[in-house]
Amino acid sequence: MHDAIRQRRSIRRFTREPVSDDLVEEILDAARWAPSGLNNQPWRFAVIRDARVKERLASLTRYGAIIRSADVIIAVFFDTASGYDWTKDLQSIGACIQNMLLAIHESGLGGVWLGEILKSGSEVKSLLQAPDAYEFMAAVAVGHPDGKPPRAPARRPVSELVFYRK
């Protein structure tokens, strides 16, 4: 587990090998086990494999090449009708996405958390026919990794992150 947390990388290039439906279900199963305040489970998902839909998504971000290359895109939404506290709800959405990324890594797949596409949130919502109450939170690109995993971006040491100990 600890190794998975440290060894997970953002994977941005994928082979053409399809991701099985079973693996997609496993990623979504990991997602739903995230903790949430009052157990409100505010996460909702759109699963996109269709090349035309992916192409339209790709056109909404500077990172379209990643979306075109990935076999599956999982778009993550926050159902504001299930929300109770903006800060805590966004945090639990983040916990949910981290579960997805860890499950992707553990399955031998590669994935990356795409955030820049949030600038096109309303276009993504209308493309995916999301209900009004859903806010677009992230896209996770999933596929079989092509090539070696990249080096991890450096992390600050714990000593720089802890400001108080008593």
Among 18, 85, 147, 150, which residue sits at the site for a second copy (rule: CB under 8 A)? Answer: 85
Is 130 a binder of a second copy (CB under 8 A)?
yes
How far is residue 19's CA from residue 47's CA, in Å, rounded to a whole number?
A: 12
| Count of residues that interact with a second copy, criterion CB under 8 A | 72
Is 49 a binder of a second copy (CB under 8 A)?
yes
Is 166 a binder of a second copy (CB under 8 A)?
yes
Of 56, 31, 60, 58, give the one whose Cα is nearest residue 44.
Answer: 31
How far is residue 52's CA from residue 127's CA, in Å, rounded to a whole number?
A: 11
Is 43 a binder of a second copy (CB under 8 A)?
yes
Is 128 a binder of a second copy (CB under 8 A)?
yes
- What's the start-to-end Cα distance of the chain, in Å? 28
Give the interface segment with a second copy, choosing from 11-19, 60-68, 101-109, 141-149 (CB under 8 A).
101-109
Binders in 60-79 for a second copy, by CB under 8 A: 75, 77
User: What phi and psi values does residue 48 have, to the nearest 5 degrees?
Assistant: -120, 120
> Amino acid identity, residue 67?
I
